[in-house]
C-alpha cells in the first residue's frame, strides 16, 4: 500500500513526475484560467449580479428544503431580498411541520419557522422605523427573483 502523505515536497514532486501528473495539471490550470478569464469578459456586470442572486436563492432554498438551517441563515445574510426569502422559508418550514410525524423533528421545524418569521418581522419593523413609506414599498414590491410575488402575497 502507498503512503498517504509525502515526507517532503521534493518527494511529492518526484512522485507526480513519475506518474505524469505535474505536466497535466499545469496544462489544465492554464486552460481553466483562460476559459474563466474569457467568460468574465463576456458576461456584463449586471447579468453577473443577476446570476449571483439566482445562485444565492437556489442555495438558500436548497438548504431550507434539506433542513440545513444554519447554512440557510448564512445564505440569508448575503441575499438581496431577505424579507421575501425569510417569509418563503417560514412557509416551507410550516408546511414541513404539518407533514412531519416525529415529535422532535416537528418541534425543530416550528422553531425554525418561527425564527425566519421573526427575522422578517424584525426587518420590516426596522424599515418602518427608518422610513414608513419605503417600508410599504418594500412589502408591495414585486420580486422577479421569486416569480414576481410580493412579500404580502407570501
Contact criterion met (CB below 8 Å) for 148 and 136:
no
pLDDT more than 70, % of the chain: 80
Phi, psi of 128 (to 5 degrees): -65, -35
Quick one: pLDDT at residue 33?
45
Q: What is the pLDDT of residues 3-31, one digit of tens each?
A: 566 677 787 777 777 767 765 555 554 54
Domain extent listing, the chain: 9-42, 44-146
Other Cβ atoms within 10 Å of 83 Cβ, number: 22
Quick one: pLDDT at residue 24?
52
Q: Is the pLDDT of residue 87 over 80?
A: yes
CA distance readout (Å), 81 to 100, 124, 142 = 28, 12, 11
Instruction: Tell me the mean pLDDT in the region 149-154.
Output: 87
Amino acid at each position: 500500500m502507498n503512503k498517504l502523505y509525502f515526507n517532503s515536497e521534493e518527494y511529492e514532486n518526484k512522485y507526480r513526475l513519475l506518474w505524469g501528473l505535474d505536466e497535466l495539471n499545469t496544462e489544465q490550470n492554464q486552460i481553466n484560467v483562460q476559459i474563466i478569464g474569457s467568460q468574465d469578459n463576456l458576461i456584463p456586470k449586471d447579468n453577473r449580479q443577476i446570476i449571483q442572486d439566482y445562485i444565492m436563492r437556489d442555495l438558500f432554498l436548497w438548504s431550507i428544503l434539506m433542513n440545513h438551517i444554519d447554512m440557510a441563515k448564512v445564505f440569508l445574510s448575503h441575499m438581496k431580498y431577505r424579507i421575501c426569502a425569510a417569509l418563503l422559508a417560514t412557509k416551507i418550514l410550516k408546511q414541513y411541520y404539518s407533514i412531519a410525524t416525529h415529535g422532535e423533528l416537528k418541534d425543530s421545524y416550528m422553531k425554525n419557522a418561527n425564527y425566519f418569521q421573526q427575522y422578517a418581522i424584525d426587518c420590516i419593523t426596522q424599515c418602518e422605523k427608518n422610513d414608513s413609506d419605503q417600508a410599504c414599498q418594500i412589502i408591495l414590491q414585486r420580486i422577479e427573483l421569486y416569480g414576481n410575488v410580493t412579500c404580502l402575497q407570501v
